[in-house]
Structure 1
């Protein structure tokens, strides 16, 4: 049997293992070798090489015995370190959970294993999924494979870095407010935040249950669609061409304060899409900023304390939320506080704004017949890593000489979909500097499969 390069597409490797062109053991050994050579990236939080080889041996024996191979047969995947994988530590990036080893897989992992996936380890993350940089004072920082002086992003930065470095072909992340999409954009991979509630989140360290999602990440949208089909048991349709796709552009919110490189890259893609028959509609949503401002932080601030307290009672009986909060890094100091009257009022106001946002966006989708909103995932490519001790609040990001507040730089564009519970997809492109950029597509509730189909059409348009 000939060897297959494990850095090629997920689809190609699955085809090779299912056809007998290569063995899962060959894929496993090559993946472990690449993990060792890329250890300096900090993408991996942990793995068990013996278990990876054991999985491969089981797959190969079953295949040789005539068992039917699943759609992900032998495909190496990494799992973010807040998603339970039986037998591997689930630290969620925080020292208080360092010794917690789940006995059972999260449902999302169960579905991937049932399809034949080879789970090759846990990916590093921003502590407790409460940050966008991927820098972790306890377990090390995930670096960007395109430039190791730049951040991989967070909080699913390890998964994104592992994919970009070819350590794995796909993986899982979580996204409460950009934690799949931001690192995917920075590292040049594809990531999907599904419609809130569409994929099961049991067996996952929570942050804010009314915002939390688990979603697939891969190096291309085409590969991402395969993972989604397995996880959601829904087929992603194939579009004959891009003609007739309708995308909405909201200039006064999503397209302001962009770096020159991001603005030019986005404009070039828009020109390419228009030439292929995609309709780009300019929309006005002057109330969007007021509906979004402060809403996500208020929800996370209110829900995280109770969610983590309940989680600890389940997985670490005897550990208090106060003990966990006392061990976090400086950048999270004060982030976990018992809700008081003021935070409860802010929470109720945020929920009210969320309902108004959903209604407004629903009206926009219906009135204009758009398939998705379209814009850059972040205003800039991956920033340089923060130097020195991490602090709270995190310092702003300088974009073309202008200092942007942290929330503007990282979260402004991703927040509306997070708050409204919409499916949101980031598609990778390359900027003029050679650094990756992300293009985001937000669909309406439940349109995940069609959104991926549109994403494939966009990807094909920018890569051919």
Structure 2
């Protein structure tokens, strides 16, 4: 199946592109449909019973935004120690249900909170100085385990016979610590972040706080589950194929994929030696409250990166709005009625405010599936389970690991092994086809940027439906184009929660802008939070 998949992608960018564009995609969708006939009944039987939700939040400290908490801590209206205690207690309460914590640092966090309270009480700095120097002073933060926190697990879900903690903080963690934030723990991720289901053989499966039978997505699923449960306030995830936005949508929180190069990726696993890695891969914030997005991104931003103008506030009436309901390619499934209704509820809300929302029609969008896949597959030097230590470009045998998996001897997940085969087969594709894909990708990016310019955003579905049963991603592999196309294009995108569907699960949409216009997305996120309630607690 993988070989056929690669061959079709290869042919679809040749001269006979229109025929292959239609036939190839229908063939792939048919294969996935047939696969679903066998897999979906098993998935349903495994997940149809045992629904649980996390208990209600009872401590009011857990329902205050990071911006407001930091203000109260600076003004000595609250103690950081009390805030950290409240979050530790909530983590201990919900983790047996959602299984999102890989390794805690609760005792150390409490000590750090006490030190902060003492520093504030000493009066060494004025309130204004504290706000300027330490914008996150005393605030708890959680971190995806693939991002290095000194002394903590940093294996990105890989099985190791011996614990080897991170030696030093990743660049972005050093920055949030310098701003006064206190890391509470590292959270679960699929092995090497290579799956849209947060599962590995070390920690197991992370579950959705709204319904434990349902997935949190991946790969930043541990962060999403904790934040949505009220066990974390702000978190740091990573995104290469929707890894940050999909879990945010499935759990009803905000997840922002910033402009490329805006946040340093040094200290993340997997890493990559390819010079254009940071065009498609980036770290970003996940929050319960829209006002916390610019607060945390302003701390996370790379001093050597692009100017994001996060302090710039743009009234919603001055932003141009466009929308699309999908790529129109025939490669992906259409959005379901819940997602369609979400998009159009937002449109109606804006139009009631006398804001025009135009339907966009981008000619090159129909190629986004093939182009996005090829743009990701062309990346060389990515750390995998096959990489030899210190040299990700040199691989050990893929077939050997496959046969170990068949006989139950492999400690790696199926998706990591499948990536090995897909990557090997992708090398059969001529260089000229990759060059064509890059060209079309740039043309599509230009179409987007010409449309949006520096004052426009596009409303776009985050995915075709809200959180399904665990492992349902298998029959929707092509549908993740809704997410990874914006990694391929290098456009910033934010998942914004816009309510709860009839099945009791959150619904969200993506808002997309031109590179460097992240501030527009934050203005829209705040507006939609005010209009539709933002994060709504699971209970």
Pick from 138, 152, 168: which aligns with 1:74?
138
Report what 2:77 is aligned to.
21
| 1:31 is aligned to 2:92 | no
Q: Distance in 1 between matches of 2:452 and 2:417?
A: 44
Which is worse superposed, 125-134 or 281-290?
A: 281-290
TM superposition score normalised by structure 2: 0.75
TM superposition score normalised by structure 1: 0.87
Q: How does 1:33-432 map to 2 (within 5 A)?
A: 33-40=89-96, 41-68=98-125, 69=130, 70-96=134-160, 99-206=163-270, 209=277, 210-232=279-301, 235-237=309-311, 239=313, 241-251=315-325, 253=327, 257-290=334-367, 292-303=368-379, 306-308=382-384, 313-314=389-390, 327-336=411-420, 340=424, 342-343=426-427, 345=429, 349-350=433-434, 352-367=436-451, 369=453, 371-386=456-471, 395-396=474-475, 405-408=476-479, 411-432=480-501
Q: Distance in 2 between matches of 1:202 and 1:312?
A: 19
C-alpha change, 1:412 and 1:197, in structure 2 (3 Å) is same
8 A Cα contact 2:386 2:395, kept in partner:
no
8 A Cα contact 1:251 1:284, kept in partner:
no
Which is worse superposed, 272-281 or 454-463?
A: 454-463
| 1:449 is aligned to 2:519 | yes
C-alpha change, 1:342 and 1:439, in structure 2 (3 Å) is closer
Q: Distance in 2 between matches of 1:56 and 1:324?
A: 46
8 A Cα contact 2:374 2:437, kept in partner:
no
* Cα offset, 1:426, TM superposition: 0.9
* Cα offset, 1:97, TM superposition: 8.5
8 A Cα contact 2:462 2:510, kept in partner:
yes
CA RMSD, aligned part only?
Answer: 3.0
Secondary structure class of the residue paired with 2:379: helix
C-alpha change, 1:275 and 1:251, in structure 2 (3 Å) is same
Report what 2:9 is aligned to.
none
Q: How many corresponding residue pairs?
A: 444
Question: Higher relative CO (CA 8 A, sep ≥ 6), structure 1 or 2?
Answer: 2
C-alpha change, 1:223 and 1:301, in structure 2 (3 Å) is same
Report what 2:37 is aligned to.
none
Structure 2 unmatched ranges of 5 or more? 1-58, 403-409, 535-539
Q: Distance in 2 between matches of 1:346 and 1:17?
A: 58
Look at both structures and tell me which one has the larger radius of gyration over its CA atoms: 2
Which is worse superposed, 103-112 or 133-142?
A: 133-142
* Cα offset, 1:138, TM superposition: 3.2
C-alpha change, 1:23 and 1:226, in structure 2 (3 Å) is same
